[in-house]
Every structure is written in C-alpha cells, then in structure tokens.
C-alpha cells in the first residue's frame, strides 16, 4: 500500500481505488490508464478509462437530474454546496497529498494553497445569487430579465491546477441550477475523481458526474447534443477544437486558454521588493500556470541590478519532490510537457542566448525535474519570448522606450494578464491602460476574487469565470414582460 507519513498521527492512503461518479454511483471501468508520480516516474495507480456508454450514462443522468435541481431555491442549493465545502474540508489533508503526488507541486506550499483556496471558493460561490433585473416597472407594464440555467454543463480541465480549476467550474455551475459532467486531464484525474466521490455523499444522484479517460472523452462531451455548455480550461490549440465541436449544437462555451503574460518594470521600481514578487509570479508551480509571468521587460536604468538580484534569488531555490518540505519548485507534471521544455532549452542553447542561471536539464533523474532558468535579453523574435514554455524558464528583456515596450508587450496572440511595476502609480496605470489583456495588475499580482471576473483577450480565451459575469455564463437571459 502506498502510504505517506505526514505527521505521526496521520497516514494517508492514496493507492485507490479511484472511481468515476455516474448517477450517484461510484463506477469503475474495465480498462485503466496509468497515472504517474512526476517526482519519481512511478505509476501511482490505474485510473478508469470511461467507455462511450459510461459517458452517455453520465450525460443522461445529468440531464434527468437537472429539472429538479433547478427547481430548488437558491438557498437550498446553497445548503447543499456549503455541506459539500464542509465535506471537502474534512478530507482536505488527503486531497492535498494526492495533489502533490499526482501533480507534483510542493505539499507544504502550493498544494495546500490550491486546496484551501478551492474549498474557500466553493463556500463563497454558494452564497452568490443572480437577482432578477427589472428593466421597466411602470404603473401598467413590467419588463424583467431573469437568468435560467443552461441545463447540462460539460467541464473539461487541465493538469496544472486540477483541484482549483475543477471546483471553480463545479460551484458556479451548480449554484445557478445546472448539473455537471466533468472530465479531468488524463495526467491528473485522481484528485477530481476523489472530489467527485465526496460529492456523491452530498448531492442528489446525477447532479455531479465525473468521468475519466484521455482526450476522446472530452470530444464526446463537446459534440453531445444533450450538453448545453462547455466550460473549458486548457491550451489555445485545444480550445479551438472545443469551439469548433461545440458549434454543431450551438453550445455556450467559456474558454480559459493559454497566456504569455508580460511584466513591465518602470524606471525607479524597487528592485528589492519587485524581484521576489515577480520570481514567485514566474516560477510558482514551476511555471506551469496560465497566468505565470512569462516575459519581464525591465527598464535599462535598473536592468543590470534587477538581473543580478533575480539570478541570485534563483540560485537559492531547491527543485525536488513536492513531498519534501525543503522543496521550492516541484517537477514538471508530465513527460509530454517535459519533452516540450527539452526542446525549448535546446533552442536557447543552440542560438547561444545568455543563460546566467540554469540552462541544462539533467535527464538522468527519475523525476521530471527542470532547473530554474533565466535567459538574459534574448531577441524579440526568439521562441522563448514568443511562446508559452509552461515551465521554469523565463526571459528578461531590456527596454528604454515606453511606446516600444508597450508595443512589444502587446505583440502576441495571447492576452491573458499582465503587470506593471513602478514608483509613480499614475505612470504605471497609464501603461496598464494600454496593455491588451483580460487582467492587468499594477504593483501587485495574482489577486483573484469570487467577484472579480477573470478571462483572456485575443486567443487567451472567450468569456470569463468568476464575478457576476462568470455566473451569468452558466445561464441564459430570459426576458419577460406583461401588463399589470
């Protein structure tokens, strides 16, 4: 049995079995696929590979359960979802460990933060209500817009924040009166299967269904006529396929996709505080983050000082197994992504860009470990400046013309988020106003909130999650009017 001693009094068993949730039942599959621990390369367990019939059964169950779920009051749905948040809380230590073991992020930091935050999110979203909007209310006529659930939602999630991004979809989907069929990434299905199992103890059968498998199960969801909306988080390339497939039945889609977030550091910025903040923004979760800072443009007047401080900080960081409390950065989550990084590192090496720290991946290690790597002022058209590496490698770029740096920051098909740093707040805001992105932080970064809409511009996505707008995307507007 795979057990990990966390504290003397707490042993966690993560060996499984892990079951899918279909119509309130825990369901296995004949066929299994291997789930790997990225820190050791070992197989953790086999996860169920849903058959087409099982996916059909999950969709049918969600469809059958939806009218009764939608007929409940918001307050009643809130009760269920709050009870679910309590149940997740009671299983928290187990979920955190599972997250580290299958995803790789350090247990004592990132994994704990992800699970805590996800549970908080479920609890808070449960309190939100979409009130009717009165457009006209005269002595003889009334016009109102009410929000009705879309019906059955298909949710498809990636491997970088599987618990948080899964629960970010589950809670707003349910509170607005929809039912759910979720499919996690084949690289990280276990935590999602576990939170699905917990959901079966709380919700009526068919309200929360979880099916695991490869990409094919995602295609089945996006094409299915009984699914009314797809809430998708993943790469831009897959997002385009999802949108194309959804067009067949005019499904609603929310697409949260890739990013190449720039940070612009203005003259006079406080290097001592900005460097550690941007370091974490770039390298948290080992850079496997849609809103990781992926390019830092530093003004010429402080570039050398900034680079030196950044590199010195990088040298203090430990890359290793996330179960080790001394680990700052865990492994790359899967071999596919590790392979992409090998290719990017090779591109940097063969072009002779300056690499003051990192630069070489030791392929003899059992885990997918990649060193923190900084590239010193590579050309604008280099791959490391233009592509999303999704790993711990980052270009620092020197600038001295504000119009040019804004043009460079905007010269990307992505437009997810950005940040601007400087002592003169008005000057920083003036730059922020000209950045093409769904979120721009000024002298702060990675602030999210239940009531703060989050979504990408350009090819970083379509629609938003969170905020009133995010909730509304799980509904249709229905206008009605009558004479009094």
Q: How many CB atoms lie within 10 A of CB 72?
A: 14
Rounded to the nearest whole angstrom, what is the least distance from the CB of residue 139 to ligand NAD in the complex? 47
Rounded to the nearest whole angstrom, what is the least distance from the CB of residue 470 to ligand NAD in the complex? 11
- Kindly name the residue from 290, 388, 465, 473 that is annotated as catalytic: 290
Q: Does 157 bind ligand NAD (CB under 6 A)?
A: yes
The most distant pair of C-alpha atoms in the chain lies apart, rounded to whole Å, by 78
3-class SS of residue 294: strand
Q: Does 219 bind ligand NAD (CB under 6 A)?
A: yes
Backbone phi and psi for residue 197, each to the nearest 5 degrees, phi listed first: -60, -40
- Kindly name the residue from 256, 388, 465, 473 that is annotated as catalytic: 256
Is the Cβ–Cβ distance between 231 and 221 less than 8 Å? no
How far apart CA 143 and CA 478 sit, in angstroms, is: 11
How far apart CA 193 and CA 210 sit, in angstroms, is: 7
How far apart CA 399 and CA 405 sit, in angstroms, is: 6
256 catalytically annotated: yes
What helix, strand, coil percent values describe the chain, rounded to 5?
40, 25, 35
Q: Which of 92, 108, 144, 241 binds ligand NAD (CB under 6 A)?
A: 241
How far apart CA 145 and CA 470 sit, in angstroms, is: 17
Residues 164-183 that bind ligand NAD (CB under 6 A): 165, 183
Choose one: 49-57, 139-147, 234-242, 295-303; the region binding ligand NAD (CB under 6 A). Answer: 234-242
Is the Cβ–Cβ distance between 215 and 183 less than 8 Å? no
Is the Cβ–Cβ distance between 84 and 202 less than 8 Å? yes
DSSP annotation of 107 reads I
Q: Which two tokens stand for residue 117?
A: 């935050």
Is the Cβ–Cβ distance between 16 and 181 less than 8 Å? no
Residues 6+ positions from 103 with CB-CB distance below 8 Å: 38, 111, 159, 160, 162, 188, 191, 322, 330, 333
Which one, 48 or 234, has the nearer CB to ligand NAD? 234
How far apart CA 290 and CA 435 sit, in angstroms, is: 17
Q: Which of 37, 100, 179, 238 binds ligand NAD (CB under 6 A)?
A: 238
Size of site (CB under 6 A) for ligand NAD? 29
Binding mask 369-388 vs ligand NAD (x if CB under 6 A, - otherwise)? -------------------x
Which one, 257 or 264, has the nearer CB to ligand NAD? 257
The four Cα atoms 239, 199, 97, 156 give a dihedral, to 10 degrees, of: -10
290 catalytically annotated: yes
Rounded to the nearest whole angstrom, what is the least distance from the CB of residue 293 to ligand NAD in the complex? 13
Which one, 208 or 416, has the nearer CB to ligand NAD? 416
Q: Does 475 bind ligand NAD (CB under 6 A)?
A: no
Q: Does 355 bind ligand NAD (CB under 6 A)?
A: no
Q: Which residue is nearest to ligand NAD (CB)?
A: 218
Q: Does 159 bind ligand NAD (CB under 6 A)?
A: yes
Rounded to the nearest whole angstrom, what is the least distance from the CB of residue 183 to ligand NAD in the complex? 6
Strands 152-156 and 10-13: unpaired
Rounded to the nearest whole angstrom, what is the least distance from the CB of residue 240 to ligand NAD in the complex? 9
Rounded to the nearest whole angstrom, what is the least distance from the CB of residue 342 to ligand NAD in the complex? 16
Rounded to the nearest whole angstrom, what is the least distance from the CB of residue 182 to ligand NAD in the complex? 10
Residues 15-44 that bind ligand NAD (CB under 6 A): none
Residues 251-310 that bind ligand NAD (CB under 6 A): 256-259, 290
Q: Which two tokens stand for residue 319?
A: 């890359």
Binding mask 401-420 vs ligand NAD (x if CB under 6 A, - otherwise)? ---------------x----
Sites of contact with ligand NAD (CB under 6 A) = 156-160, 165, 183, 185-186, 215, 218-219, 222, 233-235, 238, 241-242, 256-259, 290, 388, 390, 416, 456, 461
The catalytic site residues sit at 256, 290
């Amino acid at each position: 049995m795979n057990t990990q001693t966390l504290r003397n009094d707490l042993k966690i068993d993560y060996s499984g079995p892990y079951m899918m949730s279909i119509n309130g039942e825990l369901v296995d599959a004949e066929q299994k696929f291997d789930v790997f621990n990225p820190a050791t390369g070992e197989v953790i367990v086999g996860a169920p590979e849903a058959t087409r019939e099982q996916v059909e059964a999950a969709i049918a169950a969600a469809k059958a359960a939806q009218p009764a779920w939608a007929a409940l009051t918001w307050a009643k749905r809130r009760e269920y979802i709050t009870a679910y948040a309590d149940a997740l809380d009671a299983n928290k230590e187990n979920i955190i460990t599972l997250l580290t073991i299958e995803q790789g992020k350090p247990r004592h930091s990132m994994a704990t933060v992800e699970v805590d935050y996800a549970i908080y999110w479920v609890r808070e979203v449960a309190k939100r209500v979409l009130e009717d909007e009165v457009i006209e209310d005269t002595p003889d006529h009334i016009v109102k817009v009410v929000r009705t659930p879309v019906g059955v939602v298909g949710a498809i999630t990636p491997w970088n924040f599987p618990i948080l991004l899964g629960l970010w979809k589950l809670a707003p989907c349910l509170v607005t009166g929809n039912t759910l069929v979720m499919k996690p990434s084949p690289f990280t299905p276990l935590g999602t299967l576990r939170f699905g199992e917990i959901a079966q103890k709380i919700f009526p059968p068919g309200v929360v269904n979880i099916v695991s498998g490869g990409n094919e199960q995602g295609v089945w969801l996006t094409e299915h006529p009984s699914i009314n909306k797809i809430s998708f988080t993943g790469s831009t390339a897959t997002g385009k396929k999802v949108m194309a497939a959804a067009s067949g039945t005019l499904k609603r889609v929310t697409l949260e996709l890739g990013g190449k977030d720039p940070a612009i550091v203005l003259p006079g910025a406080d290097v001592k505080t900005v460097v550690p903040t941007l370091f974490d923004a770039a390298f948290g979760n080992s850079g496997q983050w849609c809103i990781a800072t992926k390019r830092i443009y530093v003004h010429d007047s402080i570039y050398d000082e900034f680079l030196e401080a950044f590199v010195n900080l990088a040298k203090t960081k430990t890359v290793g197994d996330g179960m080790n409390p001394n680990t700052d950065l865990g492994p790359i989550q899967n071999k596919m992504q590790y392979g992409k990084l090998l290719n990017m590192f090779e591109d940097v090496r063969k072009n002779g860009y300056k690499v003051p720290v990192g630069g070489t991946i030791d392929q003899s290690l059992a885990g997918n470990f990649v060193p923190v790597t900084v590239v010193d002022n590579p050309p604008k058209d280099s791959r490391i400046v233009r592509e999303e590496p999704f790993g711990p490698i980052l270009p620092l770029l020197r600038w001295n013309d504000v119009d040019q740096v804004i043009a460079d920051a905007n010269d990307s098909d992505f437009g997810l988020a950005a940040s601007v740093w400087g002592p003169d707040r008005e000057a920083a805001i003036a730059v922020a106003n000209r950045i093409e992105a769904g979120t721009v932080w000024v002298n702060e970064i990675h602030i999210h909130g239940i009531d703060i809409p989050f979504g990408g511009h350009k090819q970083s996505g379509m629609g938003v999650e969170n905020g009133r707008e995010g909730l509304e995307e799980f509904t249709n507007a229905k206008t009605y009017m009558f004479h009094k």
